[in-house]
Structure 1
């Protein structure tokens, strides 16, 4: 078949079933060969006809429309160079990047027989830019090649239509041409479509962005577009977004937010509805007006207080309004010490606090003589103070007798007018509620002398004189107290008589015995007045017939001696016991340790796990638990900081573990089992369980809140800031908590710095009992698990190999925790894999001493890491050793040998491929000091050769101030100078 026959085949009617498939896109089309529907007017070159015939246009009809295509098929003629150029294509907007979509057919060269030697199966695409249409002025040198077009589908016996898309970049002039070069192929060009993509006009994050041409130009995949906030919205920075080459918006920057009084609804900012408000610029929804407030119309910025309710000066405009408190209740004056001019006022809180919890009280004293009343003044003392009281009592002293006192107690809250404001009492607004009590204080008489009127072996007759300060209208009563003079004060019996007369006869006394008598006058209200004490003796018995009394006295003395002997013996035994078992006299304790009275009970032994929770944990009502903010995430859900405010208890900061929605019953039981474990512990170094919420939909575990969070993170933040003495004190607290657990026959299994929490006084507490299990009664008992994850870096080798856990394996883990503490949160074994860690431990490798680690502390670490678990110290021994170090701070001055090549991970002395570091930033990143990259650059230290010349003073001068960071960088430079390889280190 000749070339013309092939062309006819290429444009047969069969093809028309393929090419008119419409594809809906978002592109802006600049040229569509199929859609023109008329003579295309494309230029062909060369112009001469003959044997080297070039591109030809073919016209066909389809459904009444004209259809034009171009073809060329001179496969049998050598050195073909046939060009087809489009008409001038106008470039729109800022479309610097256009797409050229081609649909074409290429004939298989093998179908031409001998002619296939010069046949090609590709053609070339060119482009040229101009600011105006150049007409038929065509020069090949003006065009630059875009791509060689090769077909994926070669036409042999059936038609194979190819579709290829190429990009023309970097357009800047008003228009351009496309050209197609044939160099000896049999090609039919069915469709040429030129288009560019746009990102459509859109609203993102309340910012309006205009339609934008996709792409940012040559070699630039993104175009930055500035937007504008919608009406009633603002942004701190200009909103921006990026348009990709595919016409998609990505990475919005500078979020717009609705102004106060407006909320975001359907990409617009709309006014708050009546009864709602929004006080600030944000994308939060409008909030309903709080209690006792009302909004005036729509678009409210705040809600004003309703009549009778107020806000305190420190209240926010978003807070509810409060009322005034009612009067305090049950004001009582207790006058038991009125003789000394003292009394105590007590009262109960008001029934209505006005909706606030900042209730305070003030006490006002007024003294009245007749009908004239005036403030008591400074002479009368009210303690602890007379205003801003939070307690419901005061003590009043320095009272004068025979004066009528009136006490007024006022209740205040944050919206009350304070008593300190100068304003006539009659004009004071209802800013405080008062309750008043009155009291008449009469000075009781004073006993001036006691005399003996008569006596016998068994009786004494006494009388006394009194001297009142002022005449009294009511009779005085007296209180007479007496006892034998020689009685032991610890067992003395007093006899008390209340008398209406100033004389008395005392009977049934012992002969020849001295007695002490005290008489004090009582005021009419029962308060004691002045008193004095005298000694009087009965007459001796003449007949010696008192043997029974003597025998009784002897028997009593013998009983006392027996009691004293028993007490002395018990104390001596206790002293000897302490002497024999003192922790300071041994390095390792005996294996026969006393068991605590309380032993841990595994909650998993209960048939119903809920029973264990109810037994060991207190149930809290969810209304008493307030979540404030998320501080972390646990295995079962989020962890919050919050407030626990239970009735009768002081408000307490707590940590709240929650169970995420969609949990299974098994997950709920596993979640609550940790509370069943924690509820059995009570030790200052074990995290305290406050309670659980189990009877409501959302289960919670509530524990005490530790301000400084996890120990490993705290140490990283304070790298180098804590002295060794303080670090050892933190270790001692952890060891004490673990000793408590060990004494309860309990193994933790996951002891690590990440599971130690630190409070604001740097006290460490063991937490996270998710992996913990109980031991058997045997001290060497084990818990064997058939599966589950093991924290390799913290786990003893026997526990890794056989999954057998003991308190001795917890001791190994404690040694790793000690290393973490002294290394300020460094990751144990650095970047080694778990397999490398296990291999190194089995080959007797142990972590080296951290920088500035006391030698005694490192030696204790090595004892914890002994391969034979029976030779490791017990937690009792560890606590004793650490306490000795704390009592002798000088013992911490000797520092263990330190090798910077190991302690700063020798891989930091070479690049990731084993070669020296290629840059300063790469070196800093390897030692976790990337934050100082800019410091080195600004100081002109930009090569590793310059780094090696630095000294400590140079490091300080570039801005490294933290002691830990300064040492890390200095020791790393020291390690860089040593060319020993990493492998030789692990052979040490």
Structure 2
């Protein structure tokens, strides 16, 4: 029974800690029930004759004497105020007010009238000093802040049960030292029994081996930094300290973001509330969440808190072994050593040791000693003896030796080794044997000659040695390419049982050196002198007729391929002149069926199937939301971190689907993921994955640090050179070229839908209006009559009028994006209405070049805005044109002259506003979108527009206008003022 209780006790400790840590603590700022003297709060009444708040003594529900305020008005047209003393907030940003009161029912009052009320109002007023008087602040809703109109749940009536009401209201946010509470009665008959003011705070708690202090929430959520419990540490030197968030209700809202782990030799216990030392006989190798483990085999520890175990005597760990591996020992000696001698060569075989020492890295080595006599002294054999496969590090149990001297006694010792043999003081164990060699009589072979030769083979033969001392078992040939030399790596060997051999697999027209030797019972003899032989053809051979025939056939095939290629090019060119869009599809067909084409997710019978096919599901535990950075059509957009096991953690953007969504909203939300998941391009926003298995539903994409392109350009007005802007445009065009090649139409291409990362790489995003190219779309948004969700300022005329969305309409939108980029985020068509834009385009009006826009770029914009969609360039042409400009930066210095460009009455409306056309300096700065400098102008004394005429660049620098683009915009407007005033000064240059 005692053992069972010990096992359950930690669970009770964990449950108790969780309950205590999850209950919010309250700190009371004021409680009238505990006051023993008069409250002496301030009252106010507009008419002295009316009933006022009166402080009286009363009894609470426990019959304790308390100070209360009561009032019973006969005229509800006047307001009766009651204000408390200053209540210090003690650092709290949100406080709670608990009111206990009684209210008499209007029908039970003897002086019942129409203005009788059964409610009262609660206000508060913040102040850094206790400066409230009978007349300050004024007794009205402003400067007082209204909290709520309090209504009674229980009303007192004649003969009825006496019940009091309890209401708890929240005040905030509080920013000053303290605040006053104010009560306003307008026709009520009530008694204010008690007022308790308090705030909630998160109690000190231990979670995941981290201790978090008592925390007062300063905002919606308050970050608290914890420390590790004793004998615990953070996972790494770069890891952040553990953090938790305290909610405004005094509850800890989530688990620690970065947990601590127990140090080496300690394990988590009591539900991760403490780190306990490993008991004797157990260890824990490093810091982490794992438990203690018993010592490995043949090791021990007698201390608690051990990070490793010590090997027992006679056992060791190799230098490459980890500290948690078992201890091992050297192997025993090899067994059953068996020799096979052939005069001056020897083959040794043996059996494995009885005991391998508990390791698998067993190897063998051979020790060779030569002895003068069987009983005499022995010395090392030296370099004259050769070993195959090796003398040491042998994995098998067989070795061949040759080069021994005849009639000589040798001692051979075979040693068994493993990874800990070098650590043993006794040395490796071995088995020895004595061998005496026989007589070695050499058999020499000579007279090698060539019989036949081809381009890849040689047929050789030689004379059989006359009357050898032993019978010849076989011959061995060694042949080497003469250019490489006779080294072991450039030579090959071949055996033959007769005095003839065919050497095959040789190189054409190559010289080979060949040697031969004989093998007898006494071993191999020496190699014969080398002789040279050459494969065909020789230097004096004429060219083969077959080779000439092959060359002629190859030339004919090359000519045929060239003719076919020219024919295909002419067909493509003719089709392209007829219909550029059709030629794109023909090119894809001719290139083969491996072209990837976009698939509309709405063509699936079940759209969820498209999501599963094109978007990867991510486990919600891999994503951590850090902050909200914006709002989208379906919910919030957040910045967070994504850490997938085995991959580096990186920042991501997270789109969330707000609660209460319908099935259609969920499908529309996830359709963007099934679209993005089909694209892989450096200028298309990359989809990391989706989360649909938990709430909220999320789409995870790569994080773009600089946000939307239009706002980024406006923020950095004038800060980029033309070559940098063209580089951005080239990236956008490359992404759109990729989309068009996949038969995909974006439909909403605009600078607001282009995202920029920290390296100024622009990527196409936001596929909310995008659809697959279809002639007969069933979506009323794109096929209905004029109206609907179309971005008029960026849309081609045929798409506005007939819903004809193609890659050509995306080219029109790209021209508008070019104008946005070169004008640093200016709104296309400025303040013209959508209908004015449609009418102007029908009258062939086109946007003029932005200030200092290169002429070639504006001409490319005009090409994109051709009325006939077949006359517009394709994205492939646009990318090529921009590449030419980048390779020739001097072309970007040619800008449109004043007055150049298309003539149209609407252009006259676009001249920059001058100070004279505005009523004040502030109005002028706002008109040219330079309102950020209004305070600087006014502080420097520029209070009227007449004082601006003589401003120059140095004056603007003193005013804090340091950006070159902003200086030019301000000075350009002032220059227009001087022209109007016929001023001779020129302050631009």
Deviations 1:563-616 (A, max 9, x none): 68757976898799999999xx99x98973354322222211111111222222
Residue 805 to residue 241, structure 1, CA distance change in 2 (3 Å)? farther
Please say if residues 277 and 286 of structure 1, whose CA atoms lie closer than 8 Å, have aligned partners that are also in contact: no
C-alpha change, 1:850 and 1:244, in structure 2 (3 Å) is farther
**5 Å matches for 1:500-579?**
507-508=502-503, 514-516=510-512, 536-538=531-533, 555=546
Question: 1:665 Cα deviation (Å)?
Answer: 0.6
Partner SS state of residue 707, structure 2: coil
Contact in 1 for aligned 2:713/2:824 (Cα 8 Å): yes
Q: Does structure 2 retain, via aligned residues, the 8 Å contact 1:644–1:654? A: yes
CA deviations 1:927-953 (Å, max 9, x no partner) are 121121232223322211111222333
The answer on 1:748 being equivalent to 2:746 is yes
1:823 Cα deviation (Å)?
0.8
Match of 2:853 in 1: 853
Gaps of 5+ in 2: 1-40, 53-72, 82-112, 147-172, 187-196, 243-257, 266-283, 291-316, 325-358, 367-382, 389-443, 451-457, 463-475, 516-528, 589-594, 982-989
C-alpha distance in 1, partners of 2:890/2:599? Answer: 43
Match of 1:939 in 2: 940
SS of 2:661's equivalent in the other structure is coil
Corresponding residue of 1:822: 822
Q: How far apart, in 2, do the equivalents of 1:847 and 1:673 lie?
A: 35
Describe the shift of the 1:784–1:311 C-alpha distance in structure 2 as closer, same or farther (beyond 3 A).
Answer: closer
- Report whether the alignment pairs 1:611 with 2:627: no
Q: How does 1:525-674 map to 2 (within 5 A)?
A: 536-538=531-533, 555=546, 592-593=583-584, 594-596=586-588, 597-674=595-672
Which residue of the partner structure matches residue 878 of structure 1? 878
Given the alignment of the two structures, is residue 322 of structure 1 paired with residue 256 of structure 2, yes or no?
no
State the Cα deviation string for residues 835-862 of structure 1 (Å, max 9, x = none). 3333333333322211111011111112
Match of 2:709 in 1: 711
Q: Counterpart of 2:951 in 1: which secondary structure? A: coil
Residue 278 of structure 1 contacts residue 301 of structure 1 at CA under 8 Å; is this kept in 2? yes
C-alpha root-mean-square deviation of aligned residues, in Å? 6.0
When normalised by structure 2's length, the TM-score is: 0.52
What is the rounded CA distance, in whole Å, between the counterparts of 1:352 and 1:852 in structure 2? 68
| Contact residue 856 and residue 892 of structure 2 kept, 8 A | yes
Equivalent residue, structure 2, for 1:920: 921
Q: Could you tell me which residue of structure 2 aligns to residue 949 of structure 1? A: 950
Secondary structure at the counterpart of residue 909 of structure 1:
coil
Contact 1:222 1:245 in 2 (8 A): no
Is the 1:214–1:247 Cα contact (8 Å) retained in structure 2?
A: no
2:212 matches 1:278: yes
SS at match of 1:800: helix
- Cα 1:883–1:536 change in 2 (3 A) is farther
Give, in angstroms, the shift of residue 748 of structure 1. 1.0
- 1:784 and 1:35 map into 2 onto residues whose CA distance is 69
CA 628–452 in structure 1, closer or farther in 2 if over 3 Å, else same: farther
CA–CA distance in structure 1, aligned partners of residues 221 and 754 of structure 2: 41
Q: Counterparts of 1:805 and 1:279 in 2: how far apart (Å)?
A: 60
Aligned to 2:973: 972
Cα distance in 1 for partners of 2:581, 2:623 equals: 46
> Equivalent residue for 1:253?
none
Q: Secondary structure, in 3 states, of the residue corresponding to 1:669?
A: helix
What is residue 810 of structure 1 aligned with on the other side?
A: 810
Within-5 A mapping of 1:297-446: 302-306=227-231, 314-318=238-242, 319-322=258-261, 354-355=287-288, 408=320
Cα deviations across residues 781-803 of structure 1 (Å, max 9, x unaligned)?
A: x9942263111221122322333
Which whole-Å CA distance do the structure 2 matches of 1:854 and 1:770 have between them? 33
SS in 2 for 1:857: helix
In structure 2, C-alpha distance between the alignment counterparts of 1:445 and 1:209, rounded to whole Å: 104
SS at match of 2:769: coil
1:719·1:965 contact (CA, 8 Å) conserved in 2? Answer: yes
- Aligned with 1:922: secondary structure? helix
**What is residue 89 of structure 2 aligned with on the other side?**
none
Matched, 1:731 2:724: no
Q: 1:722 aligns with which of 706, 720, 723?
A: 720
Q: CA deviation at 1:656?
A: 2.2
2: CA distance, partners of 1:717 / 1:727: 14
Aligned position for 1:267:
199
> Could you tell me whether the CA contact under 8 Å between 1:515 and 1:535 is conserved in 2?
no
Q: Do the aligned residues in 2 keep the contact of 1:202 with 1:209 (CA within 8 Å)?
A: no
* Other structure's SS at 1:653 match: strand
1:604-659 deviation per Cα after TM superposition (whole angstroms, max 9, x unaligned) = 11111112222222333333333333232221122223333334544443322222
Conserved? CA contact 1:656–1:702, under 8 Å: yes
SS at match of 1:941: coil
Deviations 1:910-940 (A, max 9, x none): 69xxx83222111112212112123222332
Q: Find out whether 1:456 has 2:416 as its counterpart.
A: no
Contact 1:854/1:896 (<8 A) preserved: yes
Q: Matches of 1:905 and 1:848 in 2, distance apart?
A: 12
Using the TM superposition, give the Cα deviation of residue 701 of structure 1 relative to its aligned residue in structure 2, in angstroms: 2.0
The answer (yes or no) to whether the contact 1:618–1:692 under 8 Å persists in 2 is yes
Larger CA deviation: 874-883 vs 784-793: 784-793
Query: What SS is found at the alignment partner of 2:719?
Result: coil
The alignment partner of 1:805 has SS state of coil
What residue number does 1:87 align with? none
The separation in 2 between residues aligned to 1:287 and 1:636, in whole angstroms, is 24
Cross-structure match for 1:418:
none
Q: Per-residue deviation at 1:201?
A: 8.9
Deviations 1:49-80 (A, max 9, x none): xxxxxxxxxxxxxxxxxxxxxxxxxxxxxxxx
Give a deviation string over 1:865-894, Cα, whole Å, max 9, x none.
233333222222222221211121111111
Partner of 2:45: 29
Give, in whole Å, the separation in 1 of the partners of 2:445 and 2:566: 53
Distance in 2, matches of 1:672 and 1:826, equals 32
2: distance between equivalents of 1:540 and 1:958?
Answer: 90
Query: How many angstroms does 1:664 deviate by?
Result: 0.8
Q: Who is 1:681 aligned against?
A: 679
Distance 1:946 1:461, change over 3 A: farther
C-alpha change, 1:34 and 1:634, in structure 2 (3 Å) is closer
Structure 1 distance, partners of 2:124, 2:507, is 114
Distance 1:270 1:632 in 2: 29
Residues 1:695 and 1:566: Cα distance change in structure 2 (over 3 Å) = farther
- Aligned-residue offset at 1:814: 0.8
Distance 1:730 1:241, change over 3 A: farther
| Residues 713 and 924 (structure 1), Cα distance of their counterparts in 2 relative to 1, 3 Å cut | same
**1:166, 1:204 → 2: CA distance?**
20
Alignment partner of 2:880: what SS? helix
Shift of 1:908: 6.2
Instruction: Measure the CA separation in 1 of the matches of 2:951 and 2:571.
Output: 57
Contact 2:705 2:758 in 1 (8 A): yes
- Which among 684, 688, 691 is matched to residue 689 of structure 2? 691
State the partner residue of 2:472.
none
- Verify the 8 A CA contact 2:122 2:184 in the aligned structure 1: no
Supply the distance in 1 between the matched residues of 2:896 and 2:956 (Cα, whole angstroms): 25
Q: CA deviation at 1:751?
A: 0.4
Which sections of structure 1, spanning at least 5 residues, go unmatched? 1-24, 37-100, 104-161, 168-190, 226-234, 249-264, 290-298, 327-350, 358-404, 413-434, 463-477, 487-492, 520-533, 981-988
